Chains A and B, each alone.
Chain A
Amino acid sequence: MRIGIIAEGTEDQAVIRLILKAYGVDGSDIVAIRPSLQRDATDAADSSIGTFQGVKNACEGKDGLRPDFERFFIFPDNQFMVIHLDTAEIEQQNFTFTKPLKTNNPDYCTQLRNSVIDLINTWLDHQYSNQLLYAIAIEEIEAWCLTLYIQADTAQSADPKSKFWKEANRKKIKGTASLAGLCKDFSKLKKLKSYLPYNQSLKDFADSVEAAI
C-alpha cells in the first residue's frame, strides 16, 4: 500500500510522513506529491505550489481534471492520499469560509476540522472521498509538534509556531533544526499515542490513519 501526500509545505509533509511511519507505513511507500515533486527549475518562481493555494489548486484541478489525483490513483497500489491544510489563515485564503466560534466551545477543533473537510470535498467535487486522509492542523502543524513539549491542549495556543520554536530552543536540542528532525518521536507509535491527548486534530488524523491501514 502506498500513500501520497499533498501538503502546504515540505516541512508539513515531513511531519505527516513521521506519523504515517508510526503506523507501519514504510518511508519508501510514501509519495510526497506536493509541493516537492511538482517543481522544476523553470517553475521555481511559482510560489503557489507550496501553499494553501497550491493544495486548493490541486484539489480543484482545471477544466474538470485533477491530474494529481487521477494520476496517483491509476495505480492499484496507491490507495490513500493525505491532504494537509493549516487552518490559521483559512479565512483570508478562502473568503467564504467561516470558522466556528472558539470561545467556550469544547468542540471547536472537531467542528473546524469537519468544516475544512467539507471545503476540501467541495473542491474535489466529492470525488475520491473514501481514499482521502485529512491532515487538518487546527491553527498550524506546529501545534501538533508542540505536544512534544507541552502536556496541555496545544490548539489553545495563540501562536503555536512561535511557541514551538521557543520551547525547542529552551530544550537546547542539538543537531538538526528542521521541524521533522525535532519531531522524530512522532514516528514511534507508543510515543505518538502519548502526545495525541494534547491536540484533537492530531488525534483525529492519527485515528484516521490507524483506521485506514
Chain B
Amino acid sequence: MLQKITIKNFKSIVNDTIELGRVNVFIGENGCGKSNILEAVGFASAALEKRVDNENLISKGVRVAKPSLVISNFKNKKQSSKFSIHLSFEDKSVFEFDFTKKDKDDFYTEWEIEKNDVARANNLLASLVGLPQAAHETTKSGNYKRPFKTLAERLVEDFPSWVVRKFIIYLLNTPALRGATHESKKEPLGIYGEGLDLLLASLDKDEMSKLKSYKYLINWLDDFFIDVQNALKFKGYKSNHSNSVLYFMDKHMPKSNSIFSLENANEGILHILFYLAVMISKRTPKFFAIDNIESCLNPHLCRHLMEEICKLAKSEDKQLLITTHNPAILDGLNLFDDEVRLFEVKRNDKGHTQTRRITLKPEVQNDMGERYKLSELWTRGFLGAIPNQF
C-alpha cells in the first residue's frame, strides 16, 4: 500500500504530506484542493508508467492544463520551475518525482520527469521484467477471460508501488453509466462509469456471487443480468441510445414482465453496482480514487455502502482515496480503525491547500453513534471542512 505522499508546488498544494490508510476519505469546502490531491497521485501514477502526457493523464481522470497553471502559482511567491511528488510504500520503497517542462505555456508536450536515486533503484527491476499488454478476450458466454499474466508480471505485481501504475480517478456520471456516452478512453471500464455491463460480465462466479449478495441494498431489486447476445434490444426492451446490455428485474412486478434495461433503472442502483463491482473485481485497479462518491445516493444508503466498502477494501485488498460532500458518508467510517482515515482538506490564509487527519479521542469510542455522529459533527462545524466566510 501507498503509505505516504508528499506533494510540493502542485496546483494549490505548496507543500503537504499525507499519511494514508487503506480507506481514505477527504472532505472540505468546494475548491479546497481535494481533487488536486487525487490528481497528484494521478501524475505519480503516470510517472511510474513513464508516460506523463495529456492522453494518459486524462485517461486516469486528471484534469490537464498548461504548466504555468499546474505548478503552484500564488501572489507574492515566485513560481517554481517544477512540482514534486514523493511516494513512500509499505515495503519502504520510495519514489521521488520532479515534473518539469521547459516552456511553462506548452500545453501539449509530455512532462519531463526527474527521479532521484532511490526511485531509480526501485524502478530497475520493474523496467527489466517489462509487461505485456493485458489482452482481454471475450468467451462465447460473453464473460471476459482473465488477462494473460507472465511470471514477470506476477512478480512485479507484488511490489506495492506497482499498483499505483494502474491508479484511476473515477468520477461517475449517469449518462456514462447508462451507456449513452463514452468519453473515457479507459477500457473496459471508463472513469465516468462507461462499461459497467462489461465489468459485470467480466466477474467470475465468486465475484458475481459476492456482488449479488448486496441485492438487499435496493429494495425493489430482484436480480440483474447481462444480455450477452443483445437480443432484448430487438424485442423492444431498450432504445438505441445506450450501448449497455445490463438489465434489471423488479420483484414487485409480475415475473412475466419484470425486465427493464438500465436506461429505465434509477441512478442510485447504477452507482451502487459500479462501486461494489469495482471493489470486488480482480481486474479493476487495486488502488483508485472515487471523486464525489455520494452522488445520487440516499444518506442512509451512503452510510451503509461506506461500511461495506471499508470491509471490501480489506477483504479484496484495495486501497481507496474518496472525496465527498455528503456527511452521511462519514457515518460509515470507523475512525478508531487505523486503516480507515478521514482528512480535512482546507486552504490556509495564504490559499495553500493543507490536509489534516481527523481523529477522535479514544475515550469517546463508546459514545459514537448514539451520542455523537460524525455527520452531525461535520454539519455543525466541530470537525472543520466547512466554509467559514459566511
Q: Min CB distance, B338 to chain A, in Å?
A: 15
Our count of residue pairs bridging A and B at CB distance below 8 angstroms stands at 57
B349 and A21 form a contact (CB under 8 A): yes
Partner of A74, one of B347, B348, B360: B360
> Quick check: is A121 within 8 A (CB to CB) of the other chain?
no
User: Considering residues A31, A70, A74, which has the most beta carbons from chain B within 10 angstroms of its beta carbon?
Assistant: A74
Q: Min CB distance, A4 to chain B, in Å?
A: 8
Partner of A76, one of B347, B359, B372, B384: B359
B384 and A27 form a contact (CB under 8 A): no
State which of B205-213, B218-226, B233-241, B375-383 sits at the interface with chain A.
B375-383
> Quick check: is A91 within 8 A (CB to CB) of the other chain?
no
Q: Min CB distance, A173 to chain B, in Å?
A: 21
> Quick check: is B388 within 8 A (CB to CB) of the other chain?
yes
**A18-56 to B contact mask, C-beta < 8 Å, 1/0:** 000100001110111100111000000000000000000
User: Considering residues B358, B380, B386, which has the most beta carbons from chain A within 10 angstroms of its beta carbon?
Assistant: B380
> Quick check: is A71 within 8 A (CB to CB) of the other chain?
yes
> Quick check: is B361 within 8 A (CB to CB) of the other chain?
yes
* Interchain CA distance A73-B349 in the complex, whole Å: 24
- Chain B contacts of A32 at CB under 8 A? 381, 388
B388 and A30 form a contact (CB under 8 A): yes
* Interchain CA distance A77-B384 in the complex, whole Å: 10
**A45-82 to B contact mask, C-beta < 8 Å, 1/0:** 00000000000000000000000001111111110000
> Quick check: is A184 within 8 A (CB to CB) of the other chain?
no
Closest to B390 in A: A36
On whether A26 and B388 interact (CB within 8 A), knowing A71-B372, A74-B360, A74-B372, the answer reads no
On whether A75 and B360 interact (CB within 8 A), knowing A28-B354, A33-B382, the answer reads yes
> Quick check: is A2 within 8 A (CB to CB) of the other chain?
yes
**A164-188 to B contact mask, C-beta < 8 Å, 1/0:** 0000000000000000000000000
- Chain B contacts of A73 at CB under 8 A? 361
B348 and A33 form a contact (CB under 8 A): no
A2 and B380 form a contact (CB under 8 A): no
* Interchain CA distance A27-B389 in the complex, whole Å: 10
| Interface residues of B, count at CB 8 A | 22
Q: Min CB distance, A31 to chain B, in Å?
A: 6
**B345-363 to A contact mask, C-beta < 8 Å, 1/0:** 0111100001010111100
| Interface residues of A, count at CB 8 A | 22
* Interchain CA distance A27-B347 in the complex, whole Å: 9
> Quick check: is B135 within 8 A (CB to CB) of the other chain?
no
Q: Min CB distance, B390 to chain A, in Å?
A: 8
> Quick check: is B364 within 8 A (CB to CB) of the other chain?
yes
* Interchain CA distance A26-B388 in the complex, whole Å: 12
B382 and A75 form a contact (CB under 8 A): yes
* Interchain CA distance A78-B383 in the complex, whole Å: 8
B348 and A72 form a contact (CB under 8 A): no
Closest to A40 in B: B379
A75 and B359 form a contact (CB under 8 A): yes
Can you show 23 pairs from A to B with CB atoms below 8 A apart? A2-B384, A21-B349, A26-B349, A28-B346, A31-B382, A31-B384, A33-B380, A33-B382, A36-B390, A37-B386, A38-B380, A70-B372, A71-B372, A71-B380, A71-B382, A73-B361, A74-B360, A74-B367, A74-B382, A75-B360, A75-B383, A76-B361, A77-B358
A interface residues (Cβ-Cβ under 8 A, vs B): 2, 4, 21, 26-28, 30-33, 36-38, 70-78
Known: A27-B349, A28-B347. 17 other contacts (CB 8 A): A2-B384, A4-B382, A26-B348, A27-B348, A28-B348, A28-B349, A28-B384, A30-B388, A31-B382, A33-B382, A74-B361, A74-B382, A75-B359, A75-B360, A75-B361, A76-B360, A77-B356
* Closest 6 pairs between A and B when the two form their complex, measured CB to CB: A37-B381, A28-B346, A74-B364, A71-B382, A26-B348, A27-B349
